[in-house]
Structure 1
Amino acid sequence: MTQTEHTKVWSPLEIPAVGRSGPQGIVACLGDLGTELGDLLTEHKALVFRGFGITPETLDPVFDHLLPNRLAYVHGNSPRTKVGSNVYTSTEYPKEFTISMHNEMSYAHAWPARLAFYCQVQPGGGGATPVLDAALWLDSLDPEVREAFAGGVRYVQNLHDGYGFGKSWQDTFETTDRAQVEAFLTDAGATWEWKRDGSVRIRSVRPSTIRHPVTGVEVWFNQADQWHAAGLGDDTAAALAQIMPEEDLPQHVTFADGSPIPAEYILQVRDRGLDNAVDVDWRAGDLMVIDNVALAHGRRPFTGDRRVLVAMSD
């Protein structure tokens, strides 16, 4: 079976409302399946709830059930706005761009086990959330690329002090206390240096693959293609190179030993991830929960308005 055929076979488990509605309807439908939510996610990787009429006012009880311990987006690198109790906009990246596949916070020392997405405003056109079997992603890469990444990757973050390119360290860590940042980074096994302008440079070495904690399946689990200038496209990379050295960009990545990652490897990782993904289209009120290790996710470009909220849990 080819990778493309495998992708067409797999799709998220869709759970229709069948006359039920609201948070109680979702709980009842899950009860009818007779399997714990964690077991369902291990088996199906993603669950999509359609037609339950979930509103922003009824969202909290749903998230409380699906994500028992909601996490703050501390050390997150995507532009987001916090809109509730550890509920965030899914991203504020411009609508005309694709967001490539990634497992949430795979660059960090700890990551959420589950993600839940809620569509508050249906996109005018496009705007699907593609999801991808991370084991398939790993298998889709050439042996040369998998071998090159075997030693892991080194992420470099440059976070400004409130004014500058990219995110500030205050927004990233949701604090204005440097001591809290340093305690977090110590626990994360990262190294850092504060600059005279108040910014901080952080370096972290992470694996490129991990094994699923339940199934033991090895999955592609890094964000090298999103942190590398080549993943942004030739024009954007060239423009950035005119502004600042690569090591001073808000995000930069190398192999674990500090050697550069070839652009062609980055493009293969990015493109094969997007090519093998399954699109989940949104209607207002839809909700999806995914296993963040088994599945990567992204975003297709869209027109009109689109508002998708996200929450995370361990």
Structure 2
Amino acid sequence: MSESREWRPLEVHADAEGLPSGADGVLEYVRSGDFGDLLVKSKAVVFRGFGLAEDTLEPVMDELLPGRLAYLHGTSPRTKVGDNVYTSTEYPQELTISMHNELSYAHRWPSRLMFCCTTTPGSGGATPVVDGVRWLGSLDAEVRDAFAGGVRYTQNLHDGLGLGLSWKTTFETESREEVEKFLADTEAEWEWRSDGTLRIVQHRPATIRHPVTGDEVWFNQADQFHPAALGDETAAELAEILPPEELPQSVTYADGTPIPAEHVIHVRDVALDVAVDVDWVAGDLMIIDNVAVGHGRRPFTGDRRVLVAMS
């Protein structure tokens, strides 16, 4: 693996900074300097000891997330709990969610993500974060070279009954016209199929450069779209039911060549290995640069609740 320098998120502690608890303390810190510049340099900032409550988040989000976005074209199950505020991914708590940059498979993606813990997990449940430069540099050269031409993502979104998410859930609408309007501006290929399924095909790069620093970072979700990430048994069961192009989501190299399972497993495992775990206590908040940093989730017990918003 690469010997890239160690990186950790910047932690801001209310007591150490002499700041009041609650939203006022976070806002005082954020307004005391150029937070945008700080986030670019730090890549992720964690606020500890402010005791933020769910019903006090609105002014913090207004300050940190200008132009808050809906989670349109998302692939993970979550619940909308406010004005473009969602629960974090609702996969079974015993599973690890691999590292990824939010919506990196899409034509547009958020530049910032905010996470706020409102219920401390019984155990585990950290949000691991990974420096995209280190992730890229830690991959085997053979894997980096194989992905150099980019990737092709395919989604099959049913109309209400089937495997995976429906297009209605994915785009938060029951209007085909609204979906078509959204997709018209994405450079994606798409079609409505006779069974009501919406198929979307997108060609995307495997890496991009940060718009401010120019750093090249790993920026794709090939491992999460690949059936190998589901585990050998599940992947085998799905292969007996559906060909790859009919799965709810799948991925190949840009030219249509299959991606070897060992490549996506390598990408997944390297990221989880070099990631830094951010453990949660209720009231903590983290904001990350979504291009510079990937994120995931460790397994947990108990009633963990983390809210997510993006801009």
Q: 1:4 to 1:274 in 2, by over 3 A?
A: farther
Once residues 152 and 69 of structure 1 are traced to their aligned partners in structure 2, the CA distance between those partners, rounded to angstroms, is: 30
Which SS does the other structure have where 2:184 is aligned?
helix
Indicate the residue corresponding to 1:139 in structure 2: 137
Once residues 294 and 119 of structure 1 are traced to their aligned partners in structure 2, the CA distance between those partners, rounded to angstroms, is: 22
Indicate the residue corresponding to 1:225 in structure 2: 223
Contact 2:154 2:201 in 1 (8 A): yes
Q: 2:196 aligns with which of 171, 195, 198?
A: 198
Give a deviation string over 1:226-264, Cα, whole Å, max 9, x none: 000112221221122222222111110000111100111
User: What does 1:177-256 align with in structure 2 at a 5 Å threshold?
Assistant: 177-256=175-254
Once residues 54 and 215 of structure 1 are traced to their aligned partners in structure 2, the CA distance between those partners, rounded to angstroms, is: 31
Contact 2:4 2:134 in 1 (8 A): no
Shift of 1:196: 1.5
Once residues 199 and 29 of structure 2 are traced to their aligned partners in structure 1, the CA distance between those partners, rounded to angstroms, is: 47
- Between stretches 275-284 and 187-196, larger displacement belongs to 187-196
Once residues 127 and 3 of structure 2 are traced to their aligned partners in structure 1, the CA distance between those partners, rounded to angstroms, is: 18
Amino acid at match of 1:13: L
Q: 2:117 aligns with which of 108, 116, 119?
A: 119
Indicate the residue corresponding to 1:157 in structure 2: 155
Amino acid at match of 1:232: L
What's the TM-score, normalizing by structure 2?
A: 0.96
Once residues 2 and 289 of structure 2 are traced to their aligned partners in structure 1, the CA distance between those partners, rounded to angstroms, is: 21
Q: 2:108 aligns with which of 91, 94, 110?
A: 110
Shift of 1:5: 7.0
Which SS does the other structure have where 2:239 is aligned?
helix
Runs of 4+ more than 3 Å apart: 2-5
- Once superposed, what is the RMSD of the aligned Cα atoms? 1.2
Shift of 1:4: 6.4
Query: Tell me, which stretches of 5 or more residues in structure 1 are unaligned?
Result: none
Indicate the residue corresponding to 2:12 in structure 1: 15
Indicate the residue corresponding to 2:87 in structure 1: 89
Q: 1:287 aligns with which of 285, 288, 292?
A: 285
Give a deviation string over 1:18-61, Cα, whole Å, max 9, x none: 251111111112344x3x11101111000000111111110111
Q: How many residues align?
A: 308
Once residues 203 and 161 of structure 1 are traced to their aligned partners in structure 2, the CA distance between those partners, rounded to angstroms, is: 17
Amino acid at match of 2:188: A
Which SS does the other structure have where 1:6 is aligned?
coil
User: What does 1:51-70 align with in structure 2 at a 5 Å threshold?
Assistant: 51-70=49-68
Amino acid at match of 2:132: A
Indicate the residue corresponding to 2:272 in structure 1: 274
Indicate the residue corresponding to 1:6 in structure 2: 5
Which SS does the other structure have where 2:163 is aligned?
coil
State the identity %: 67
Shift of 1:66: 0.9
Contact 1:4 1:276 in 2 (8 A): no
